[in-house]
Structure 1
Amino acid sequence: MSNLSDIIEGFIKELLEANSQRAIEIQRNILAQQFDCSPSQINYVLTTRFGNDKGYMVESRRGGGGYIRILKVSTSIEEELKNFLNESIGDSVTLNKALDLISALRERKIITDREQRIMQSILGDRALKGVVYEDRNKIRADVLKEMILASAENDM
């Protein structure tokens, strides 16, 4: 059984897919009531599952008539890739962050399932066991950037 965060994420993604404008407005309290959870659970899902690195922009307006607007950002692959590399990876990236970024690339159909599995394997601690622990995140970031560029090269 999926956890509540997965269910809320799925519901929001279904709303986005059904909306031809690629943006939705929802009220946090109403959504929380619908899923019988606290508004902070909704905030958690929005923060962890709908960030810029996952291709979404979230705008929130608080107060009585407040709402949350979620917009799926669509840009050219080249522009998306440049932003992704600069903002999401930087000079250093943890294994968990790298795996999240790779999953986001797959979800957005920038890489294939096979490329995702290869990237995950290459960036794992087992593959980097000969590297000093303090240097792994820097090397992981450099390797991840190169793999993304190589996999997207044919698409540009």
Structure 2
Amino acid sequence: MSNNISDIIEAYLKGILKSKGKDAIVIKRSEIANRFQCVPSQINYVINTRFTIEKGYHVESKRGGGGFIRIIRVTHPDNNQMLDEIIELIQPAVTLQASIDVLERLLEEKMITEREAKLMLSALERDTLAFQLPLRDEIRSRILTKMLATLKYLNKA
């Protein structure tokens, strides 16, 4: 089974981050596009959707001839500090996609299991929170904040 190009580019960039043993890499959009024989906007799409702050990345970009993209993996001395940062980020409202990104980050950091992620997501989905926007995103924020606060508490136990 072949992955789509976005998955392949994401895996490649994450692989570079891991292999360098660093928390940051600098890439040229055009070089990555050439490597994967795709348009530069495909690289933008991957960066904008797969390397979000909710997933634990900070991205800096400079356009133009000498343009580059710097991808920085946000690290924390401990999980509780990371949870505090996420809680601050998702208040007072959070979209479903940003919530999914947060859950993926918690999975990647091995703070929750796949099963726990699915349970958490079921409480945050649109059909569960059948309210109009912006109320739905505000309620989702409160529920996810409470879940993260509970995770923090369980970390200390």
Pairing 1:77–2:79 present: yes
- Distance change in 2, residues 1:125/1:59 (3 Å): closer
Change (3 A) 1:144 1:64: same
Aligned to 1:155: 155
3-state SS, counterpart of residue 112 of structure 2: coil
Percent identity of equivalent pairs:
41
Q: Is the 8 A contact 1:111 1:152 kept in 2?
A: no
Correspondence 1:20-99 to 2 at 5 A: 20-75=21-76, 76-87=78-89, 89-99=90-100
Q: For residue 126 of structure 1, report the CA deviation from its aligned partner.
A: 4.0
Are the aligned partners of 1:110 and 1:152 in contact in 2 as well (CA < 8 Å)? no
> Which amino acid is the alignment partner of residue 54 of structure 2?
D
Cα deviation 1:65-94 (Å, max 9, x = unaligned): 33222121111322221221112x112223
CA positional deviation for 1:136:
2.8
Rounded Cα–Cα distance in structure 2 between residues aligned with 1:133 and 1:64: 44
Q: Which residue of 1 aligns with 2:106?
A: 105
Runs of 4+ in 1 over 6 A off after TM superposition: none
Displacement of 1:153: 1.9
Q: Is the 8 A contact 2:54 2:101 kept in 1?
A: no
**Greater CA deviation, 10-19 or 65-74?**
65-74
Separation of aligned partners in 2, 1:142 and 1:63? 41
Where does residue 139 of structure 2 map in the other structure? 139
- State the TM-score, normalized to the length of structure 2: 0.85
SS in 2 for 1:153: helix
- Aligned partners of 1:61 and 1:67 also within 8 Å: yes
Number of matched pairs: 153
